[in-house]
Structure formats: C-alpha cells, structure tokens
Amino acid sequence: MTTTLPPTYFDDLYERAPDPWAFETSPYEDAKYAATLAALPHARYGRVLEVGCSIGVLTKRLASRCDHLVAIDPAARALDTARARCLDLPSVSFVQGHVPADWPSGSFDLIVLSEVIYYLGAPDVDALAARVDRSLRPGGQVLLVHWVRETDYPLSGDAASDQFIRALGSGYRRLARQRTDDYRLDLLAAG
C-alpha cells in the first residue's frame, strides 16, 4: 500500500470501537505518552499543534505544557470524545481535518506527530514536512513518535519518520532520539 489512507478509514475504525487502539487503558500507550512528554526540553510551550489527536488522551496530558493547543484529527467521532475529555481546558481547540491537505492557520512552537505519519503515502509525507516547515516558528520543535513493528499502513514507522526527516531538509537539528522495541521518538528543532 503506497497511498494515503482516506478519512473514511478512521471514521470506520471509530464507528466499530470508540477507542480502537486502547489509548485510555494500554500500559504501552501510557508509557509512550510519559516518554513523549519527558522528551520535550521546555517545561512550557506557547502555541502547539497535535496532529492526529484521536480521542484526546495525549492531548489532555500535553495541554498542561502549553499556552494554547490546537488538535486536529480526521474522525468526527474521535474529536467528539476528545472535546468531551478536554472540556475543562479552554486553552485547547479542535479542528477536523485530514493532513496534509487540511492544516490549521498560524505558526507553532511545537508540532507533535505521534503515530500519524505512517498513514500517509510518500508524496503526502513530503507535503506534510513542507507544511510543518512553513508553520514552525524559528527555533520551533517537531516531535515524531511512531510504532516500529510491522503494520499494514502505507509506510512503516521507520520509513515514514526517515522520509519526513529527510524532507524537512538540513535546516533542522536533532535534539533527541529514543528507540524501544515498539516505537521510535525523534525530536528536531528548526534552525
């Protein structure tokens, strides 16, 4: 499979199960979220974008580290759950959209791409990298976290992450890289 998965793929998943990846209950997800937040070098960020927020489990945890968080996801049902989860967080706003075609306006200090790039085909990974590059403020950071075991998605976690990093170009420096048996984490900074 080499083309980007359509938004209906995610609609169908959430139609069958409200938490298809067990974000709320999985020890793997809990540990990965803790590692994700621990990898961030700043205690607080100004404006943050979370791409592929799903039902908002990471969103709620990430919100405590930023002044304003924009969370985007293609699945309306997932966004409804995320909005309900974050109802008490006025600094979080939600956008329904399918990246890279749909993209929130403005610039960001941090963009989080957790478990999302491998759903894209190669041309859309390049387009996503261009969107990120245009949207990051000087010195802004992009955090990638992706499953590295076998999937049936358009790209593997390693292939998607590597292609995205190449597409960003030489204007980025790596701040951190972690790898477990299950996922890899890459933190890059602009400039």
135-156: pLDDT as tens digits: 999 999 999 999 999 998 999 9
Bridge-based pairing of strands 136-147 and 183-190 is antiparallel
Mean pLDDT within 74-86: 98
- The CA distance from 95 to 21, in Å, is 21
Each residue's pLDDT tens digit, 20-77: 999 999 999 999 999 999 999 999 999 999 999 999 999 999 999 999 999 999 999 9
How far, in Å, are 16, 43, 88, 90 from residue 114 at the CA level?
22, 19, 23, 22
Domains of the chain from N-terminus onward: 7-190 (3.40.50.150)
Give the whole-angstrom CA distance, residue 125 versus residue 155. 10
Q: Report in angstroms the alpha-carbon separations of 100 from 51, 74, 121, 131, 148.
A: 10, 11, 11, 7, 22
Q: Taking the model in full, what pTM does it have?
A: 0.96
As a whole number of angstroms, the distance between CA 74 and CA 28 comes to 24
User: pLDDT band at residue 191, thresholds of 50, 70 and 90?
Assistant: confident
pLDDT surpasses 60 at 1: no
For 93-143, write each residue's pLDDT tens digit. Answer: 999 999 999 999 999 999 999 999 999 999 999 999 999 999 999 999 999
